[in-house]
Amino acid sequence: MRYNFIGVDVDVITYKELFAKCEQWLQDKSARSKHVACVNVNCVVESYLNREIKEIFTKADISGPDSMPFVYWIRLITGQKCDRLYAPDIILNLCRIAVQRGYRLYLYGGAEGVPETMQQFLQSKFPGLQIVGTYSPPFRPLTLQEDALVCEQIRQANPDFIIVGLGSPKQDQWIQDHLSKIPGTIMIASGAAFDFFSNRIPQAPYWIQRSGFEWLFRLTQDPKRLWKRYTVYNFVFIWNFLLQLLRLKRFDSIRVPQNN
């Protein structure tokens, strides 16, 4: 089941359901890879402003709610259980399961040295965790030859999960572009998790995460970079969501074929 937030369909899903799907998907390592997106207000507004971005989140195999207001609203309206698919929590839960089941992870993203620091943190927290490779891309588009080489290196490493941290929506675009190039994996868009787990930026305390005001915490940490996302975009979302609720404006979803 998905709930429409101003034209973007967000999955009603729990962590238990997510990892059950992952286990099912990994039964066929020759299949097209799967895309797990974590959708917050910024993603929804970017999608509202840009149809191509909207298609990316619509095509994702899972577009989970990465916003406590989304979660509270979904629970209220549908009466169903729903968790916030918060990338750092997905990764920590995944690492615990990966140690038990032998899953292999690959870290793609972050500035130079960041994925290696993240690897050290995760493997110290979860002894026995298999992280089979890391890659920090340059701050420019890769050439076709460079991209082909990186894809081959990842295929040779044979990961089950690829954690992608390039910022939204760039990371989700990268995932969509590589689902067929690197088959048999589950690619998770991880947002700021690389910076959190490498101690580059502070993570909001748990109670703030649960309150729905993590955006305010992050805004105070980096106002120059995030002011537009958390002021202008929040206003755009609230205004349009009110129009949607009052049925003064229609926000139709894009109907696209789901990945097999």
Mark 186-214 as b/e (b = at least 16 C-beta within 10 Å): bbbbbbbbbbbbbeeeebbeeebbeeeeb
Q: Are residues 174 and 164 in contact, defined by beta-carbon separation less than 8 angstroms?
A: yes
Give residue for tokens 């990764």. Answer: 91
Distance (Å, rounded) from C-alpha 32 to C-alpha 42? 28
Mean pLDDT of 32-55: 96
Q: What are phi and psi of 234, to 5 degrees?
A: -60, -40
Reported pTM: 0.92
Q: Are residues 7 and 47 in contact, defined by beta-carbon separation less than 8 angstroms?
A: yes
Q: What is the pLDDT of residue 191?
A: 80
Distance (Å, rounded) from C-alpha 15 to C-alpha 89? 9
Per-residue pLDDT band at 126 (split at 50, 70, 90): very high
Q: What is the pLDDT of residue 195?
A: 92
**Upstream peptide bond of 169 is cis (omega within 30 degrees of 0):** yes
Q: Tell me: pLDDT of 143 over 90.
A: yes
Give pLDDT tens digits for 1-16: 999 999 999 999 999 9
Q: What is the pLDDT of residue 255?
A: 66
Mean pLDDT of 43-67: 96
- Edge-first strand order for the sheet with 62-65 is 62-65, 34-39, 186-189, 161-165, 104-109, 130-135
Q: What is the pLDDT of residue 209?
A: 82
Mean pLDDT for the chain overall: 93
Mean pLDDT of 21-37: 95
**Maximum Cα interatomic distance, the chain, rounded to a whole number of Å:** 54
Q: What is the pLDDT of residue 260?
A: 47
Q: Tell me: pLDDT of 259 over 60.
A: no
Q: Which domains does the chain have, with CATH numbers?
A: 2-200 (3.40.50)
